[in-house]
Amino acid sequence: MNDKKHPPSGPSEIDTMEDRMGSIEQLDFDDPGPSGRFGEPAPREVLDQLTPEREREAGMTGGESLGPDVHEDGITQDDLSPETLFDESGARSPRERGQGLPADQDLSIVDESEIGEGGGLDEAEMARVMPLDGRPDEEEDEEDER
């Protein structure tokens, strides 16, 4: 039934691994990576890469780094906050230079078959239809009656 005249229906095959995953780098577990101990002075080549702002704010607390900006909340590159943890430069790896825009704001034009809606129910809809414990959610039944 599956011959050359009637190709199988389904999504077209992705050409390469790079098409499937985007640009990726091989993991290298033998690379020792950055080294150093807490409190040791940074090597000169690392210090030369710091921007003047980063060098000025190094080691400051939130109160010390407050600026004239109304929305400023005293976050420096030393803080573990969403502003410093989430790279919004558009880079997909530490070695890639960002494009200036966050990667999740890159838009592409697609047709209706590529929107991503998929087929069937999503997780929330499936949970309503077939709950894991076998009993329907009573709170949701009350909301439906209103």
Phi and psi of 74, rounded to 5°? 75, 30
Q: pTM for the complete prediction?
A: 0.29
Q: What is the 3-state secondary structure (H, E, C) of the chain?
A: CCCCCCCCCCCCCCCCHHHHHCCCCCCCCCCCCCCCCCCCCCCHHHHHCCCHHHHHHCCCCCCCCCCCCCCCCCCCCCCCCHHHHCCCCCCCCCCCCCCCCCHHHCCCCCCHHHCCCCCCCCHHHHHHHCCCCCCCCHHHHHHHHC
Looking at residue 13, what is its pLDDT? 63
Looking at residue 100, what is its pLDDT? 66
Running along the chain, 146 residues long, what does each successive block of 10 average in pLDDT?
56 59 72 75 79 76 63 67 71 70 68 72 85 77 56
Looking at residue 143, what is its pLDDT? 57
Contacts with 29 (C-beta within 8 Å, 6 or more apart), sequence order: none
